[in-house]
């Protein structure tokens, strides 16, 4: 137990030192998101467990604010409506919980931010496939494991944190989402 803090701290520092190469990908994602928001699109965001929490946190910062006063921007965490989630899961299976919402809400000017630490979440991957069919701009945040969907060439921006630790991947995802929220806020403050 004595080394828990030190080990976790050192592991996090190592991952932080290894993510500099993600900067151009984050800016590419930001560019696509800002372009679509500027044309009237919205952000849809999904993930499971801790990634669902990140989705809701990001959505709150986009609809509400991160730092400065500005108008609210359209973002929907597909994880927020418990009744909708249980109804879709019951009627269509949990693997369709996000894709069904994208079918109903997604438009070609929209963005899907998909979050899966492993890249193997059936519900998130099905959401990505559906978003691709509907012409959404797709940003996928994941960990060191390569999402199988990347092989299909349907992800516009794949941001892969170089770690196999779920905790470290989630921590870096939160950092990336904060950077993106700040970039969106700076670009869309008018």
Residue ranges per structural domain of the chain: 4-188
Average pLDDT of the residues of the chain: 94
Q: Look at residue 146 in the predicted model and tell me its pLDDT.
A: 63
- Residues 48-54 have a mean pLDDT of 98
Percent of the chain with pLDDT over 90: 88
CATH number, domain 4-188, options 3.40.50.10490, 3.10.450.50, 3.10.20.30, 3.90.1150.10: 3.40.50.10490
- pLDDT(101) > 90: yes
- pLDDT(156) > 90: yes
Q: What is the 3-state secondary structure (H, E, C) of the chain?
A: CCCHHHHHHHHHHHHHHCCHHHHHHHHHHHHHHHHHHHCCCCEEEECCCHHHHHHHHHHHHHHCCCCCCCCCCCEEECCCCHHHHHHHHHHHCHHHCCHHHHHHHCCCCCEEEEECCCCCCHHHHHHHHHHHHCCCEEEEEECCCCCHHHHHCCCCEEEECCCCCHHHHHHHHHHHHHHHHHHHHHHHCC
Q: What is the pTM of this model?
A: 0.96
Assign 69 a pLDDT band (cuts: 50, 70, 90): confident
């Amino acid at each position: 137990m004595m080394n828990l803090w030190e080990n976790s701290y050192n592991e996090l520092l190592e991952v932080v030192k290894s993510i500099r190469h993600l900067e151009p990908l984050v800016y590419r994602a930001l560019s696509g998101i800002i372009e679509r928001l500027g044309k009237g699109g919205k952000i849809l965001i999904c993930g499971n467990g801790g990634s669902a929490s990140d989705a809701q946190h990001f959505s709150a910062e986009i609809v509400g604010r991160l730092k400065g006063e500005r108008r609210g921007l359209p973002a929907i965490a597909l994880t927020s409506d418990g009744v909708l989630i249980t109804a879709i899961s019951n009627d269509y299976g949990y693997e369709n919980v996000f894709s069904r919402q994208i079918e109903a809400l997604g438009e070609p000017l929209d963005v899907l931010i998909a979050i899966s630490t492993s890249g193997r979440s059936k519900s998130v991957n099905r959401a990505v496939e559906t978003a691709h069919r509907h012409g959404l701009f797709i940003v996928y945040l994941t960990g060191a494991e390569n999402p199988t969907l990347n092989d299909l060439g349907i992800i516009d921006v794949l941001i892969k944190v170089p770690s196999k630790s779920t905790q470290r991947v989630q921590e870096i995802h939160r950092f990336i989402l904060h950077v993106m929220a700040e970039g969106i806020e700076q670009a869309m403050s008018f």
